[in-house]
């Protein structure tokens, strides 16, 4: 079901809200000022938000003093929600929400503490990867904690012809456990997966270059976080090609760095972007709530 058809609900008769969509001079992103997601969003307003999301890839909705129920309900208007494999980090009573946090209580992490330490597109390791993700700030550190977003449409435009000839029409393998064994970062790391969890994240194959299903634009669809190799290429060549694509994916002029403010809700398009968590000092508390919207099979 499309976002537009999902919008046709009991919100049809909701009162229109007055809000401004401000674009930035940089590569990607826009912020929405004056929107209140604790109130119903009517079809016309939803259409503006949906269009801005397609045009700018990252939307920052400021000062959203909303409950988990509000976040889930708004997310569902874009599509079916996906439940993360790490069930121990799902919000009690709200399995649609993954807790992203470095906080440790009683010797246990309350959420996924290392989320996003490699560039990635959420759930690219699934047969139906994510359309988009919404991250709502609950507790923010006094320093650090930024999130970076890189435009994969512009990354594809930057690929030179010789490299295009190698990757066009090819597929790449994606695996949730691609970087699991690495100890690149101190602090929290992902817990050992049970056999049941491993069965939910078997390796999948997607096009190296995908077509956005709503805009028709081409985008690179590989990332250092989850892509393991390109099918049909010798291992050394696959590694070399991927390294070149990764470098082109994170050109400085195509990156937006989000510096979180209290109650921000950030909604990004995983079909258009990859993202990275910049990290913060381990002793500073950081907690956010994430909903993830299921997309279509990449083509």
- The verdict on residue 280 lying in a domain is yes
53 catalytically annotated: no
Which backbone phi and psi does 159 adopt, to 5 degrees? -70, 125
CA 181-183-187 angle, 5° bins:
120
Give pLDDT, residue 25.
Answer: 82
Tell me how far apart the alpha carbons of residues 200 and 188 are, in angstroms, rounded to a whole number: 22
Q: Is residue 197 part of a domain?
A: yes
The answer to whether residue 295 sits within a structural domain is no
Nearest 10 degrees: Cα torsion 267, 272, 274, 279:
-20
Task: Confirm if 198 and 85 have CB atoms less than 8 A apart.
Answer: no
Average pLDDT, 10 consecutive residues per value, the chain (299 residues): 49 85 88 96 96 97 97 97 90 96 90 82 94 98 95 98 97 84 55 73 92 98 95 97 98 95 98 94 94 97
**296 falls within a domain:** no
Looking at residue 112, the DSSP 8-state letter turns out to be B
CA distances from 105 to 95, 111, 285 (A): 20, 10, 11
Question: CATH no. for residue 33?
Answer: 3.60.130.10
Across the strands, what pairs with 265? 61, 136
290 is a catalytic site residue = yes
The answer to whether position 299 is within a domain reads: no
The reported pLDDT for the residue numbered 4 is 47
| Residue of 114, 122, 151, 264 marked catalytic | 122
- What SS3 class is residue 89? helix
Is 122 annotated as catalytic? Answer: yes
Query: What is the C-alpha separation between 215 and 52, in angstroms, rounded?
Result: 12
Contact indicator for 175, 226 with CB cutoff of 8 Å: yes
pTM of structure: 0.90
Domain of residue 179, residue span? 3-288
pLDDT at 160: 98
- Asked whether the beta carbons of 88 and 247 are under 8 A apart, the reply is no
Catalytic residue among 56, 120, 174, 210: 120
Report yes or no on 103 lying in a domain.
Answer: yes
Count of the separate structural domains present in the chain: 1
On whether residue 84 sits in a domain, the answer given is yes
Is 275 a catalytic site residue?
Answer: yes
Residue 176 in any domain: the answer is yes
Residue among 53, 174, 206, 275 flagged as catalytic: 275
């Amino acid at each position: 079901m499309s976002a537009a058809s999902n919008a046709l609900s009991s919100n049809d008769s909701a009162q229109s809200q007055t809000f401004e969509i401000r674009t930035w001079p940089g590569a990607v992103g826009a912020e929405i000022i004056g929107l209140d997601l604790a109130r119903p969003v009517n079809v016309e307003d939803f259409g503006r938000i949906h269009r801005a999301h397609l045009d700018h890839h990252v939307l920052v909705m400021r000062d959203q003093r909303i409950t988990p129920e509000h976040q889930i309900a708004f997310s569902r208007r874009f599509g079916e929600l996906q439940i993360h494999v790490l069930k121990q980090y799902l919000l009690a009573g709200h399995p649609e929400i993954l807790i992203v946090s470095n906080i440790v209580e009683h010797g246990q992490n309350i959420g996924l503490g290392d989320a996003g330490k490699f560039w990635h597109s959420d759930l690219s390791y699934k047969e139906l990867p994510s359309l988009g993700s919404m991250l709502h700030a609950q507790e923010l550190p006094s320093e650090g904690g930024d999130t970076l977003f890189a435009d994969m449409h512009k990354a594809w435009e930057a690929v030179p012809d010789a490299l295009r000839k190698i990757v066009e029409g090819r597929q790449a393998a994606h695996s949730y456990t691609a970087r699991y064994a690495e100890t690149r970062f101190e602090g929290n790391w992902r817990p050992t997966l049970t056999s049941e969890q491993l069965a939910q994240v078997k390796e999948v194959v997607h096009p190296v270059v995908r077509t956005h299903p709503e805009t028709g634009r081409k985008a690179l669809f590989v990332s250092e976080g989850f892509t393991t190799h390109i099918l049909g290429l010798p291992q050394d060549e696959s590694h070399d090609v991927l390294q070149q694509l990764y470098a082109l994916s994170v050109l400085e002029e195509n990156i937006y760095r989000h510096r979180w403010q209290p109650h921000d809700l950030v909604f990004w398009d995983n079909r258009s972007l990859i993202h990275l968590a910049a990290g913060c000092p381990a002793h500073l508390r950081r907690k956010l709530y994430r909903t993830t919207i299921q997309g279509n099979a990449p083509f």
